[in-house]
Structure 1
């Protein structure tokens, strides 16, 4: 039950965040406010004249929002068992979206680099490569009906896919709650360099734990209790963080983008 609760809160939170990404960054394209809006979070994300780079990062954002929205669906047993065709089609869209998001991010780095310099470029570049690799491996093993290996790579891809959501969550908590020590406006401070890897490396370690747990499900009672308690604590933290971010940032931005459609 705690694991299902964790999956549910992750889906709710990433769902709201994915809608925010699609409406905020996609809406800026429609409104013609790319320079103002895209650079609000990361300096120099968009520069007039850099059409190829803007196209690649735009693809990264839009495809990434699909990854966040569809990811949790792949791990609902009832969907896999009762609606296998729906699972396969949403899975294909999920994997294609992950490939496009990874390729778009890597192409942007190759064309323009990262605002935080070489450390951010290495961290984000490795993240993109791992995302593309995990998507290809999940697809390859699914096509070959090696379902255990397919699930293992799907878990790794999910751990990577939620990285963009966690990146914003970590930064928001650090800046608003802890004063932003080690962060600079050019994203090259000690905290920024740590975050270039921290938003996905711990996720992969947790993913490997779950993969090994599936392979050897028998754990001692103390370890099971400790694991369940950790999941419950994580659910509570994510609930609080999601409410704060959605209330203070994501929902207001979504509302401002969508309001003209209903005026």
Structure 2
């Protein structure tokens, strides 16, 4: 495999992991655009469509366009493209998280969600907003290493729904439909797994930079 093809494995993998939430969001938008009948399953979406649409559109933009920000060649060869894309990705991610927090706070959530899952959603959404804001603040002061670290964490949190789908599928097939507490724990596991991988990437990247350019790399915040 060539080095160029290897570099595309990262954004390709991130896009593949995004497909489940992106396609689910597209189906939800199609449903809302068709004047659907209100049912217990879709009531919270139909009665409050604005934050739902904002969340889906912004999250889709954040996940798909954001995946290309992790292509090292694009960052090096086309830094202007990376900056312009970042000016779309960061606000989209922040708006997606804020819309998600709005829905978690003001929507009538189904009984299968429960209080624990609502707490997890608040923690993940708030951490995502904080990570992206810290990432933007870091790059504005010229600290690219810290910027990269916080944006990686923010993207990992935004990609939680993709990992949650991978966790839920084998559980449902082998164990069955989870109860309220188990569902919350499985959802939480998706965010935890993504954050753990993101932190490994951040520290590995920082260690590599320290070996290549001793004394010139800022240790990522966190």
User: TM-score band, normalised by the shorter chain?
Assistant: 0.7 to 0.9
Equivalent residues in 2 for 1:166-185, closer than 5 Å: 166-176=163-173, 178-180=174-176, 183-184=178-179
In structure 2, relative to structure 1, the CA distance for the partners of 1:3 and 1:46 (3 Å cut) is farther
Please, which of 201, 209, 212 is the counterpart of residue 210 of structure 1? 201
Equivalences, count: 204
Instruction: Please name the residue that 1:69 is paired with.
Output: 64
Equivalent residues in 2 for 1:39-78, closer than 5 Å: 43=41, 46=44, 50-51=47-48, 54-78=49-73
Instruction: Please name the residue that 1:88 is paired with.
Output: 83
The more displaced of 9-18 and 135-144 is: 9-18
Q: Distance in 1 between matches of 2:190 and 2:203?
A: 22
Asked whether the 8 Å contact 2:163–2:194 carries over to 1, the reply is no
Asked whether the 8 Å contact 2:18–2:162 carries over to 1, the reply is no
Please, which of 74, 78, 83 is the counterpart of residue 79 of structure 1? 74
> Moved runs in structure 1, 4+ residues, more than 4 A?
1-6
Q: Distance in 1 between matches of 2:109 and 2:32?
A: 21
Equivalent residues in 2 for 1:87-236, closer than 5 Å: 87-112=82-107, 114-115=109-110, 116-176=113-173, 178-180=174-176, 183-184=178-179, 188=180, 190-217=181-208
Asked whether the 8 Å contact 1:102–1:131 carries over to 2, the reply is yes
Asked whether the 8 Å contact 1:160–1:204 carries over to 2, the reply is yes
Bigger relative CO (Cα 8 Å, ≥ 6 apart): 1
TM-fit CA distance, 1:143 = 1.4
TM-score by length of 2: 0.80
Q: Distance in 1 between matches of 2:78 and 2:8?
A: 22
TM-score by length of 1: 0.69
Q: Distance in 1 between matches of 2:96 and 2:140?
A: 21
Q: Distance in 2 between matches of 1:191 and 1:7?
A: 31
Q: Distance in 1 between matches of 2:164 and 2:208?
A: 31
Classify the secondary structure of the residue corresponding to 1:200.
helix
Q: Which runs of 5+ in 2 are unaligned?
A: 210-222
The more displaced of 9-18 and 166-175 is: 9-18
Instruction: Please name the residue that 1:238 is paired with.
Output: none
